[in-house]
């Protein structure tokens, strides 16, 4: 295993009685993309903010690029880029003015500032909006601008809090292409998302629920090693079948997808339990677990635990 | 250090750019001083305009008629009625028929000869302070070329306080600066927090103090522009003389701007949103207007109010600026007031710097 760029151990943070992050430990290898998924309020943003040095952990330690946080946060300002969940540049400044401002804040010499600004404006298709006010840009363009702003100073670690939650699928694909290019260049990326297709593209994935890191690993491995069986059940009277299935204690979850039910059961459940339904003209087939199944199992366990 | 300056410069330029695009704030920079000055200023100017007056002439001599005619010609009052008794006159004032009552006593000639006390009495509806101010101008009236003795004594019926018109304009600079400087800085910082800009800025190399200085400096310039505007309008529209040195006026304004801006910074660290910042500004503004001596004489206030007033920068500013503009005193005469303003700024800056942490905790 190569060096870890970001690591946390026993990270804990409460706001009064509310425990936002509970004993989170993780390691992110340099040059990889680590994804955070989890329901709203699961502690993704709080964890991210602690790893940026924005919040002080109530307990536990975090280290980024060999510097411990939040004590040495100032040493990391020039080496870490952070893209906030909500757009945080100035809406009443133009694209170019925003990028110039950020460049000046990072004390870049004028030439370098202009080069990098023009480079990213070209690369992220912002050139034609150069003189547009940021507040007038579309959601997607605004995210490109925010990304450009946190890439100007060439960070070694890039932390993105739900960067694609407000953008269309085409833009999301383009966005991820850029992320992979950055990772290839050795940039370590921590990104949180609600989208399973995005989660699946990460090198490693952590699922947060109620502040706890309930599952962590490579997406492929998480899907293969999921200790459940997955069935696709189709046929008439899905509503009745669903009610019937939910009576069975081995059934973990039933969700309708189009004209079929996706049924998760305990691993090793006798397929006949499901197959008996076939008598009533239903069709049952075994399918591979996907990442959403991993997510459902991981977050459901937490609720019952 | 050079990097710090460059970052401060960047923040200043950004702030000015935003300010130029924010029409509301930009309008307030010029609008508030102009509007307030015109409002307060025209109240002052009514000083010498026709107040309606009634007369009770118990003497009914040629001298008494001459004096009443002179008063009428002064244009301060416009005599619209004659009454036979003082009681009738007071009723007329009470029912708002007239603003001023002129009472000529029966023994006018005797009283005119006795220089120790005024001969004619004015009764004023000074529930409206403007009337009180204006009618007081009549007390300057005298009879005979070499006769300096006061002929007329004015008496407020409801509010015996007197104010001088010229006192208001210099004090008005303080009101305007308190309102705009405190509000602008508080809102400028709180807005960054509200819009999430601060979360982005915290993760950059910019230091808290650089951010504060960069945001505040443009407003120093704006404060000086406002000071100039009020002084110029005061001189142009109301013939306000500046008897002291202009440099002293600006040094005083600068110290007061500093105190207001740092107070605004402290508010910005306490307010969670722009509305709260505005509320806190009003919380400061009201005692600044009422307790500082701008509206009511400091000496007449209860001890507790005076203690509170001493804590307000406006109180020190009003004393200092009136001394310089109205009385023509040099700044050195009020140097302890200037020190008070500087000390206030230093304390506020320290509190703001301590409270403004580079984190979201």
The pLDDT profile of chain B, 361 residues, written as one tens digit per residue, is 788 899 999 999 999 999 888 888 888 888 888 888 877 766 655 454 567 889 998 888 888 888 888 888 777 788 888 898 988 888 888 777 888 888 888 888 888 777 777 778 888 776 665 666 666 667 666 555 445 455 666 665 544 434 344 667 888 889 999 988 998 888 888 988 888 898 899 889 998 888 888 988 999 999 999 999 988 888 887 777 788 889 999 999 999 999 999 999 999 988 888 899 999 999 999 999 888 888 777 777 788 988 999 999 999 999 899 888 877 888 888 899 999 999 999 999 889 888 877 666 7
Mean pLDDT of chain A, nearest integer: 89
Structural domain ending residue among the three candidates A182, A199, A218? A218
Residues A122 and A210 in one domain: yes
pLDDT tier for residue A252 given thresholds of 50, 70 and 90: confident
Residues B283 and B200 in one domain: yes
Residues A157 and A242 in one domain: no
Residues A237 and A148 in one domain: no
Residues A195 and A235 in one domain: no
CA distance B132 to B43: 12
- Whole-number pLDDT of residue A90: 94
Residues A246 and A159 in one domain: no
Residue B8 C-alpha from the chain's centroid = 34
- Whole-number pLDDT of residue A217: 93
Residues B177 and B152 in one domain: no
Structural domain ending residue among the three candidates A218, A250, A272? A218
Residues B217 and B288 in one domain: yes
- Both tokens of B255, joined, read 């110290």
Q: Are B236 and B160 in contact (CB under 8 A)?
A: no
Give the mean pLDDT of A159-167: 91
Structural domain ending residue among the three candidates B156, B179, B210? B156
Q: How many domains does chain B have?
A: 2
**Nearest neighbour of B360 by CB, restricted to A55, A89, A107:** A55
Burial class (CB in 10 A: 0-12, 13-18, 19+), A285: exposed
- Whole-number pLDDT of residue B122: 82
**Nearest neighbour of B21 by CB, restricted to A82, A84, A92:** A92
How many beta-carbon pairs below 8 A join chains A and B? 71
Structural domain ending residue among the three candidates B156, B190, B216? B156
Give the mean pLDDT of A31-53: 92
B360 in a domain, yes or no? no
Q: Pick the residue from chain B with its C-alpha nearest to A135.
A: B195
Smallest CA–CA distance, residue B156 to chain A, in Å, is 55
Residues B54 and B194 in one domain: no
CA distance A277 to A29: 47
A117 in a domain, yes or no? yes
Q: Does B359 sit within 8 Å of A56, measured CB to CB?
A: yes
- Whole-number pLDDT of residue A203: 95
A65 in a domain, yes or no? yes
For residues B111 and A103, the model is more confident at: A103
| Residue ranges of chain A whose CB lies within 8 Å of a chain B CB | 49, 52-56, 70, 73-74, 77-78, 80, 82, 84, 86-93, 97, 101-102, 104-107, 149
Q: Which of B2, B204, B210, B361 has the most A C-beta neighbours within 10 Å, making it the best mutation to test the interface with A? A: B204
Structural domain ending residue among the three candidates A179, A197, A218? A218
- Whole-number pLDDT of residue B98: 85
Provide the b/e sequence for B151-184 (b: ≥16 CB within 10 Å).
bbebebbeeeeebebbbbbbbbbbbbbbbbbbbb
Residues A184 and A73 in one domain: yes
Q: Does B196 sit within 8 Å of A78, measured CB to CB?
A: no
CA distance A19 to A304: 18
A169 in a domain, yes or no? yes
- The percent of residues above 90 in pLDDT, for chain A, comes to 61
- Whole-number pLDDT of residue A234: 86
Please list every residue in chain B whose beta carbon sits closer than 8 Å to the beta carbon of residue A55: 359-361
Please list every residue in chain B whose beta carbon sits closer than 8 Å to the beta carbon of residue A160: none
CA distance A241 to A250: 15
Q: Residue A43: which CATH number? A: 3.40.50.300
A247 in a domain, yes or no? yes
Residues B111 and B178 in one domain: no
Residues B134 and B196 in one domain: no
Q: Pick the residue from chain A with its C-alpha nearest to B18.
A: A92
Residues A265 and A157 in one domain: no
**Nearest neighbour of A77 by CB, restricted to B21, B199, B205:** B205
Domain of A79, in residue numbers = 4-218
Q: Does B360 sit within 8 Å of A104, measured CB to CB?
A: no
- Whole-number pLDDT of residue B127: 64
Contacts with A165 (C-beta within 8 Å, 6 or more apart), sequence order = A85, A193, A194
Q: Pick the residue from chain A with its C-alpha nearest to B359.
A: A54
- Whole-number pLDDT of residue B27: 84
Q: Is the pLDDT of residue A303 over 50?
A: no
Please list every residue in chain A whose beta carbon sits closer than 8 Å to the beta carbon of residue B204: 77, 102, 105-106
Q: Which of A107, A153, A159 has the most B C-beta neighbours within 10 Å, making it the best mutation to test the interface with B? A: A107
Give the mean pLDDT of A277-303: 79
Structural domain ending residue among the three candidates B156, B173, B201? B156
Q: Which of B8, B193, B196, B203 has the most A C-beta neighbours within 10 Å, making it the best mutation to test the interface with A? A: B203
Checking ipTM against 0.85, whether it exceeds it is no
Phi/psi class of residue B44: alpha, beta or left (left: φ > 0; alpha: ψ in -120 to 50)?
alpha
A300 in a domain, yes or no? no
Mean pLDDT of chain B, nearest integer: 82
Residues A66 and A190 in one domain: yes
Residues A149 and A56 in one domain: yes
A298 in a domain, yes or no? no
Q: Does B360 sit within 8 Å of A54, measured CB to CB?
A: yes
Residues B132 and B277 in one domain: no
pTM given for the model: 0.77
Residues B21 and B84 in one domain: no
**Nearest neighbour of B205 by CB, restricted to A52, A78, A97:** A78
Q: Does A84 sit within 8 Å of B200, measured CB to CB?
A: yes
Q: Residue A265: which CATH number? A: 3.30.70.100
CA distance A68 to A138: 38
pLDDT in tens, A272-286: 777 676 566 788 888
| Residue ranges of chain B whose CB lies within 8 Å of a chain A CB | 3, 6-7, 9-11, 13-14, 17-18, 21-22, 195-197, 199-206, 358-361
**Nearest neighbour of B18 by CB, restricted to A78, A88, A93:** A93
A295 in a domain, yes or no? no
Q: How many domains does chain A have?
A: 2
Please list every residue in chain A whose beta carbon sits closer than 8 Å to the beta carbon of residue B358: 73
Give the mean pLDDT of A131-152: 93
Domain of B297, in residue numbers = 2-43+164-355
What's the per-residue H, E or C state across chain B? Answer: CHHHHHHHHHHHHHHHHHHHHCHHHHHHHHHHHHHHHHHHHHHHHHHHCCEEEEEEECCCCHHHHHHHHHHHHCCCEEEEEEECCHHHHHHHHHCCCCCEEEEECCCHHHHHHCCCCCCEEEEECCCCHHHHHHHHHHHHCCCCCCCCCCCEEEEECCCCCCCCHHHHHHHHHHHHHHHHHHHHHHHHHHHHHHCCHHHHHHCCCCCHHHHHHHHHHHHHHHHHHHHHHHHHHHHHHHCCCCCCCHHHHHHHHHHHHHHHHHHHHHHHHHCCCHHHHHHHHHHHHHHHHHHCCCCCCHHHCCHHHHHHHHHCHHHHHHHHHHHHHCCCCCHHHHHHHHHHHHHHHHHHHHHHHHHCCCCCC
Residues A199 and A244 in one domain: no
Smallest CA–CA distance, residue A20 to chain B, in Å, is 13
CA distance A66 to A188: 13
Please list every residue in chain A whose beta carbon sits closer than 8 Å to the beta carbon of residue B13: 101
Q: Pick the residue from chain B with its C-alpha nearest to A14.
A: B361
- Whole-number pLDDT of residue A101: 95
Residues B271 and B215 in one domain: yes
- Whole-number pLDDT of residue B163: 39
Q: Does B361 sit within 8 Å of A74, measured CB to CB?
A: no
Please list every residue in chain B whose beta carbon sits closer than 8 Å to the beta carbon of residue A56: 359, 361
Residues A166 and A104 in one domain: yes
Residues B14 and B120 in one domain: no
Residues A256 and A195 in one domain: no
Q: Pick the residue from chain A with its C-alpha nearest to B23.
A: A92
Strand order in the sheet with A251-257: A251-257, A260-266, A228-234, A283-287
Q: Pick the residue from chain B with its C-alpha nearest to A57.
A: B361
- Whole-number pLDDT of residue A1: 45
Q: Pick the residue from chain B with its C-alpha nearest to A84.
A: B200
Q: Which of A13, A69, A70, A88 has the most B C-beta neighbours within 10 Å, making it the best mutation to test the interface with B? A: A88
Residues B279 and B299 in one domain: yes
Q: Does A54 sit within 8 Å of B202, measured CB to CB?
A: yes
Q: Residue B61: which CATH number? A: 3.40.1710.10
Smallest CA–CA distance, residue B199 to chain A, in Å, is 7
A179 in a domain, yes or no? yes
> Cα-atom radius of gyration of chain A, to the nearest Å?
22
Residues B223 and B326 in one domain: yes
Please list every residue in chain B whose beta carbon sits closer than 8 Å to the beta carbon of residue A46: none
Q: Which of A45, A105, A152 has the most B C-beta neighbours within 10 Å, making it the best mutation to test the interface with B? A: A105
Please list every residue in chain B whose beta carbon sits closer than 8 Å to the beta carbon of residue A105: 7, 10-11, 201, 204-206
Q: Does A55 sit within 8 Å of B7, measured CB to CB?
A: no
Neighbours of A232 (CB within 10 A): 14
B361 in a domain, yes or no? no
- Whole-number pLDDT of residue B8: 93
CA distance B350 to B127: 44
């Amino acid at each position: 295993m190569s060096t870890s760029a970001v690591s946390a151990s026993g990270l804990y943070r409460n706001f009064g009685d509310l425990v936002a992050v509970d004993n989170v430990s993780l390691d992110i290898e340099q040059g990889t993309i680590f994804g955070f998924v989890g329901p709203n309020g699961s502690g993704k943003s709080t964890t991210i903010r602690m790893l940026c040095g924005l919040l002080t952990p109530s307990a536990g330690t975090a280290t980024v690029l060999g510097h411990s946080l939040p004590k040495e946060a100032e040493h990391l300002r020039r080496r870490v880029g952070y893209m906030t969940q909500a757009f945080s540049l100035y809406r009443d400044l133009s694209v170019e003015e925003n990028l110039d401002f950020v460049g000046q804040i990072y004390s870049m010499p004028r030439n370098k500032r202009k080069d990098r600004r023009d480079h990213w404006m070209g690369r992220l298709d912002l050139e034609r909006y150069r003189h547009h006010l940021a507040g007038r840009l579309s959601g997607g363009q605004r995210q490109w601008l925010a990304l450009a702003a946190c890439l100007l100073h060439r960070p070694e670690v890039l932390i993105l809090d739900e960067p694609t939650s407000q953008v269309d699928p085409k833009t999301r694909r383009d966005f991820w292409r850029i992320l992979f290019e950055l990772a290839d260049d050795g940039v370590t990326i921590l990104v949180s998302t609600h989208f399973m297709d995005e989660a699946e593209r990460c090198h490693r994935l952590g699922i947060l629920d109620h502040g706890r890191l309930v599952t962590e690993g490579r997406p492929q491995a998480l899907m293969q090693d999921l200790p459940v069986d997955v069935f696709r059940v189709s046929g008439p009277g899905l509503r009745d079948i669903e009610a019937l299935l939910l009576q069975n204690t081995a059934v973990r979850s039933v969700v309708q997808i189009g004209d079929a039910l996706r049924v998760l059961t305990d691993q090793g459940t006798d397929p006949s339990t499901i197959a008996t339904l076939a008598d009533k003209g239903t069709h049952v087939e075994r399918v591979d677990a996907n990442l959403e199944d991993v997510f459902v199992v991981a977050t459901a366990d937490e609720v019952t635990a | 250090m050079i990097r710090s300056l460059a970052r401060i410069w960047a923040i200043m330029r950004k702030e000015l750019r935003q300010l130029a695009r924010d029409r509301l704030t930009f309008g307030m920079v010029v609008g508030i001083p102009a509007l307030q000055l015109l409002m307060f200023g025209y109240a002052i100017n009514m000083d010498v305009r026709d107040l309606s007056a009634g007369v009770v002439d118990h003497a009914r001599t040629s001298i008494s008629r001459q004096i009443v005619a002179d008063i009428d010609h002064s244009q301060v009052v416009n005599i619209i009625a004659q009454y036979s008794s003082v009681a009738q006159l007071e009723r007329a004032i009470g029912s708002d028929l007239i603003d001023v009552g002129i009472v000529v006593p029966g023994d006018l000639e005797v009283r005119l000869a006795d220089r120790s006390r005024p001969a004619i009495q004015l009764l004023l509806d000074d529930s409206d302070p403007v009337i009180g101010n204006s009618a007081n101008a009549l007390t300057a009236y005298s009879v005979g070329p070499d006769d300096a003795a006061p002929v007329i004594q004015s008496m407020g019926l409801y509010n015996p306080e007197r104010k001088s018109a010229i006192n208001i304009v210099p004090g008005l600079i303080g009101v305007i600066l308190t309102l705009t400087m405190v509000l602008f800085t508080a809102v400028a910082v709180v807005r960054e927090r509200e819009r999430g800009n601060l979360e982005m800025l915290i993760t950059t190399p910019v230091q808290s103090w650089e951010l504060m200085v960069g945001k505040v400096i443009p407003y120093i310039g704006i404060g000086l522009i406002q000071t100039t505007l009020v002084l110029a309008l005061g001189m142009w529209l109301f013939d306000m003389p500046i008897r002291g040195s202009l440099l002293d006026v600006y040094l005083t304004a600068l110290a007061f701007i500093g105190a207001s801006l740092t107070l605004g910074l402290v508010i910005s660290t306490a307010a969670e949103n722009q509305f709260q910042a505005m509320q806190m500004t009003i919380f400061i503004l009201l005692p600044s207007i009422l307790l500082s001596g701008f509206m009511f004489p400091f000496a007449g206030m209860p001890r507790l109010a005076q203690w509170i007033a001493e804590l307000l920068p406006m109180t020190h500013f009003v004393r200092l600026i009136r001394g310089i503009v109205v009385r023509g005193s040099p700044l050195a005469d009020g140097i302890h007031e200037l020190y008070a303003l500087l000390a206030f700024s230093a304390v506020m800056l320290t509190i703001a710097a301590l409270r403004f942490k580079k984190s979201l905790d």
